[in-house]
């Protein structure tokens, strides 16, 4: 026979104002199985918890119901208290008589009757609660970081500096991401390469970081603390261990006119190449699509000139499996391309701006490469068509962003600031030039940001025109930009030498495919979703997976770095223990009843249901039944509601418990 204790909280006056708590206690005290019922001013306070613990021991209670606020508020508190008094924490339930009762009803009689029923329901439920032993799973203290931009680099360094191994996987031949492409960075105008490359070198030299470049994630299995990741290391055609990075091969390669993606295709590279001189690792990779050897079986000059004999035309893609306990996703962003409709995106192109058709209409990242001292023009602003210095330059903001009718409603966040930066860089390099900016409004929150923006107008003489461009066309070697200045209400027409478009920041192409491999959620644009917009901004809802940088939404470098360090801190929290406890709300199969139809396996989104063979002593197969891996089970209970033979049961939410509640009403 159960000896249930019921504790009814006044919550100061929050509950007692509308619910007659004494009447609830009196009435509940008479319910079968209830050995003790009382009311108390603040159950969650120290004396309240002491009362609870003392009563459990004095009254030898077998189960506890605390009628107070929402279990989402204090269930953990009371279960802990109950545990410290020697009872299994899952023998304690909360009855929500605040959020679901006293706060939403004014009529005292109605609220009191409802409270009695809610408590009664939980009393019947708790009778059926079973002792649930804690489930502990081991924690593999190695971490995977996907994406080697500044976000991934920062997270990897932070985790590795704490002494834990990191596997860093980057899709491109070098780490660095977009930040490596930037010239100077707002709001301080320090050179991006100068602050970035030391960190890249730190990654390469760190004894705890294992770097896989030119690699992609193939498969992710397992769960928090125990992931199994298959990585595809694409064939580089150059052996990383043998190559000394001397670069002779690149000087001899006859294919010299291949547009370099790193330089936004305005600079050229060879077929065997490193994307940029400071690349990490600085092992070249052969672009097989453009290599003469791979196309015609002739040439092979790089192999002949390579002293250490590192060039290997036979190299194959390799699959590597790594065990990790946590995953940081830092796959960054891509820029919206105007000349083509991004795959799978609902957004129509912006053909009217001539990008892709008029050679001197470029995007912001291309301007970064022009302005970069290590870029294809050595840092001189020269237009792509004829290499002349543009004397009139027009910047257009919000291309793609904040255009609901075209499919993107968000603000790309970094364009206002980098456009201001571009006008300054331009002014520093082309003293007799004039910059114009078409903008909707300037969004510059951030430390020293507004000051930076103002400087571009007040000191660097950029002319800001509030309004959008309506038309843009080539006229001779000029680009005519027509728009309206809505501040003064006039039409403007500028004959520009070059136009720079601040195109929208979008998720990486293929972000959705990676998310599906990881089992994390993403929004309609394919930015990854955090578990809670405010309180859990770096965690995914999927346990053990964390987010850093622009893959979660547009971000500048300071924000990216902060989030990356925060994600690293979350990984460290997980790694601070050898084993972790998980809520023992998992499904369990009653093997005697299981007919092996595996309906449960089909509906389980976690892949927690396995097939288990039952054999007799001679080893003959009797039957195959379902087995739920308690480490993997998410605890949704979908399998239970699906099982035709009622052979799988979710601990904590058994049919018995639920039916008891319904019958109490």
Partner 1 sequence: MHTDKPKHAFEPKIIAFVCTWCTYAGADLAGTSRMQYPANVRVLKFPCTGRIDPVFILKAFQQGADGVLVSGCHPGDCHYIAGNFHARRRFAAFRKLLEFVGVDLDRLQFSWVSAAEGGKWVEVVTDLTEKVRAMGPMTEFKELALEEQWSGAITTPELKEAYNSI
Interacting partner of 585 out of ligand SF4, partner 1, ligand FAD, none (Cβ under 5 to 8 A depending on kind): partner 1
Q: Does 526 bind ligand FAD (CB under 6 A)?
A: no
The smaller minimum CB distance to ligand SF4, of residues 223 and 418, is found at 223
Encoded tokens for 285: 């990779």
* Helix-, strand-, coil-residue percentages of the chain, each rounded to 5: 30, 25, 45
Q: Applying CB under 6 A, which part among 302-310, 342-350, 549-557, 598-606 lies near ligand FAD?
A: 549-557
Q: How many Cβ atoms are within 10 Å of 162's Cβ, its own excluded?
A: 17
**Interactions with partner 1, residue window 610-639 (CB under 8 A):** 634-638
**Which one among 71, 284, 549, 635 touches ligand FAD, defined by CB under 6 A?**
549
> Which positions from 546 to 585 touch ligand SF4 by CB under 6 A, shown as an x/- string?
----------------------------------------
Distance CA 111, CA 102 (A): 6
The smaller minimum CB distance to ligand SF4, of residues 187 and 284, is found at 284
CA 609 to chain centroid, in Å, comes to 27
Angle at 48 between CA 45 and CA 50, to 5 degrees: 110
CA 490 to chain centroid, in Å, comes to 44
91 SS3 class:
helix
**Interactions with ligand SF4, residue window 298-337 (CB under 6 A):** 306, 308, 310-311
Distance CA 625, CA 589 (A): 8
Q: Does 284 bind ligand SF4 (CB under 6 A)?
A: yes
336 SS3 class:
coil
> Which positions from 148 to 187 touch ligand FAD by CB under 6 A, shown as an x/- string?
xxxxx----------------xxxx----xxx--x--xx-
CA 398 to chain centroid, in Å, comes to 24
CB of 87 within 8 A of CB of 61? Answer: yes
**Which one among 5, 71, 354, 364 touches ligand FAD, defined by CB under 6 A?**
364
Q: Is the dihedral of CA 132, 137, 143, 144 positive or negative?
A: negative
| DSSP per-residue codes, 377-401 | TTT----TTT-PPPSEEEEEEEEST
The least distance separating ligand FAD from the CB of residue 505, rounded to whole angstroms, comes to 6
The smaller minimum CB distance to ligand FAD, of residues 204 and 301, is found at 204
DSSP class of residue 22 equals H
Burial tier of 253 (Cβ tally within 10 Å: 0-12, 13-18, 19+): buried
Q: Does 37 bind partner 1 (CB under 8 A)?
A: no
Q: Does 12 bind ligand SF4 (CB under 6 A)?
A: no
Burial tier of 451 (Cβ tally within 10 Å: 0-12, 13-18, 19+): exposed
Q: Is the dihedral of CA 473, 479, 481, 482 positive or negative?
A: negative
The least distance separating ligand FAD from the CB of residue 524, rounded to whole angstroms, comes to 19
> Which positions from 606 to 625 touch ligand SF4 by CB under 6 A, shown as an x/- string?
x-xx----------------
Interacting partner of 555 out of partner 1, ligand FAD, ligand SF4, none (Cβ under 5 to 8 A depending on kind): ligand FAD
Q: Does 637 bind ligand SF4 (CB under 6 A)?
A: yes
**Which one among 63, 74, 402, 421 touches ligand FAD, defined by CB under 6 A?**
421
The smaller minimum CB distance to ligand SF4, of residues 69 and 306, is found at 306
Q: Does 111 bind partner 1 (CB under 8 A)?
A: yes
> Which positions from 503 to 542 touch partner 1 by CB under 8 A, shown as an x/- string?
----------------x-x-------------------x-
Q: Applying CB under 6 A, which part among 502-510, 525-533, 617-625, 630-638 lies near ligand SF4?
A: 630-638
**199 CB contacts (<8 Å, ≥6 apart)?**
150, 153, 154, 157
Q: Does 411 bind ligand SF4 (CB under 6 A)?
A: no
Q: Does 640 bind partner 1 (CB under 8 A)?
A: yes
CB of 313 within 8 A of CB of 294? Answer: yes
CA dihedral of residues 215, 217, 223, 226 (deg, nearest 10): -20
Nearest to 587 by CA among 635, 624, 655: 635
Encoded tokens for 646: 């009622």
Encoded tokens for 422: 């571009």
Interacting partner of 149 out of partner 1, ligand FAD, ligand SF4, none (Cβ under 5 to 8 A depending on kind): ligand FAD
CB of 137 within 8 A of CB of 580? Answer: yes
Contacts with ligand SF4, residue ranges (CB under 6 A) = 238, 243-249, 284, 306, 308, 310-311, 587, 603-604, 606, 608-609, 628, 633-639, 650
Contacts with partner 1, residue ranges (CB under 8 A) = 70-72, 96, 98-101, 103-108, 110-111, 113-114, 117-118, 121, 519, 521, 541, 585, 603, 605-606, 634-638, 640-642, 650, 653, 655, 658-659, 661-663, 665
Contacts with ligand FAD, residue ranges (CB under 6 A) = 146-152, 169-172, 177-179, 182, 185-186, 216-217, 330-333, 335, 364-365, 368, 414, 418, 421, 508, 514, 549-550, 555-558, 560
């Amino acid at each position: 026979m159960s000896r249930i204790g019921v504790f009814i909280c006044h919550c100061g006056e929050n509950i007692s104002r509308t619910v007659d708590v004494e009447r609830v206690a009196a009435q509940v005290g008479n319910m079968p199985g209830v050995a003790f019922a009382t009311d108390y001013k603040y159950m969650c306070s120290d004396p309240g918890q002491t009362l609870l613990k003392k009563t459990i021991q004095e009254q030898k209670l077998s189960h506890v119901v605390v009628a107070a606020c929402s279990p989402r508020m204090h269930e953990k508190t009371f279960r802990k208290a109950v545990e410290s008094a020697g009872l299994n924490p899952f023998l304690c339930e909360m009855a929500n008589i605040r959020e679901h009762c006293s706060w939403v009803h004014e009529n005292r009689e109605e609220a009191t009757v409802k409270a009695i029923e809610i408590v009664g329901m939980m009393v019947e439920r708790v009778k059926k609660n079973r002792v649930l032993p804690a489930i502990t799973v081991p924690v593999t203290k190695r971490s995977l970081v996907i994406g080697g931009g500044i976000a991934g680099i920062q997270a990897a360094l932070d985790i590795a500096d704490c002494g834990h191994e990191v596997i860093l996987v980057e899709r491109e031949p070098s780490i660095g991401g977009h930040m490596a492409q930037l010239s100077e960075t707002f709001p301080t105008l320090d050179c991006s390469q100068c602050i970035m490359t030391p960190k890249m070198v730190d990654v390469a030299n760190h004894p705890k970081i294992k770097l896989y470049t030119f690699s992609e994630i193939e498969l992710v299995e397992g769960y928090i603390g125990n992931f199994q990741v298959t990585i595809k290391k694409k064939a580089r055609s150059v052996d990383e261990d043998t190559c000394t990075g001397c670069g002779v091969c690149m000087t001899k390669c006859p294919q010299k006119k291949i547009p370099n993606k790193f330089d936004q295709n305005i600079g050229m590279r060879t077929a065997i190449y490193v994307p940029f001189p400071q690349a990490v690792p600085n092992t070249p990779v052969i672009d097989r699509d453009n290599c003469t050897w791979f196309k015609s079986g002739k040439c092979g000059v790089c192999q002949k000139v390579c002293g250490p004999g590192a060039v290997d035309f036979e190299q194959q893609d390799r699959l590597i499996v790594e065990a990790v306990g946590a995953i940081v996703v830092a796959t960054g962003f891509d820029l919206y391309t105007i000349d083509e409709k991004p795959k799978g995106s609902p957004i129509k192109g912006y053909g009217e701006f001539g990008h892709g058709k008029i050679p001197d209409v470029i995007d912001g990242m291309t301007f970064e490469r022009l302005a970069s001292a290590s870029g294809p023009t050595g840092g001189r602003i020269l237009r792509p068509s004829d290499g002349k210095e543009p004397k009139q330059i027009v910047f257009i903001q919000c291309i793609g962003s904040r255009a609901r009718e075209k499919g993107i409603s968000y603000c790309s966040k970094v364009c206002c600031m980098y456009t201001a930066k571009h006008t300054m860089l331009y002014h520093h390099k082309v003293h007799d030039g004039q910059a114009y900016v078409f903008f909707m409004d300037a969004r510059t929150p951030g430390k020293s940001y507004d000051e930076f923006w103002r400087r571009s107008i007040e000191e660097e003489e950029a002319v800001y025109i509030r309004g959008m461009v309506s038309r843009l066309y080539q006229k001779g070697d000029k680009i005519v930009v027509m728009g309206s200045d809505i501040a003064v209400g006039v039409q403007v027409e500028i004959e520009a030498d070059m136009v720079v478009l601040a195109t929208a920041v979008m998720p990486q192409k293929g972000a959705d495919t990676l998310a599906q491999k990881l089992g994390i959620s993403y929004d309609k644009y394919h930015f990854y979703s955090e578990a809670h917009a405010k309180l859990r901004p770096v965690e995914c809802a999927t346990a053990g997976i964390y987010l850093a940088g622009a893959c979660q939404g547009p971000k500048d470098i300071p924000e990216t770095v902060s989030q990356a360090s925060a994600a690293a801190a979350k990984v460290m929290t997980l790694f601070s223990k050898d084993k972790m406890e998980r809520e023992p709300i998992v499904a369990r199969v009653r093997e005697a009843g299981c007919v092996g139809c595996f309906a449960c396996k089909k509906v389980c989104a976690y892949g927690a249901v396995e097939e288990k063979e039952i054999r007799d002593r001679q080893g003959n197969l009797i039957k195959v039944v379902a087995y739920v891996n308690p480490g993997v089970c998410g605890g949704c209970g979908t399998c239970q509601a699906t099982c035709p033979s009622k052979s799988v049961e979710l601990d904590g939410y058994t049919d018995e418990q639920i039916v008891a509640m319904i019958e109490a009403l």
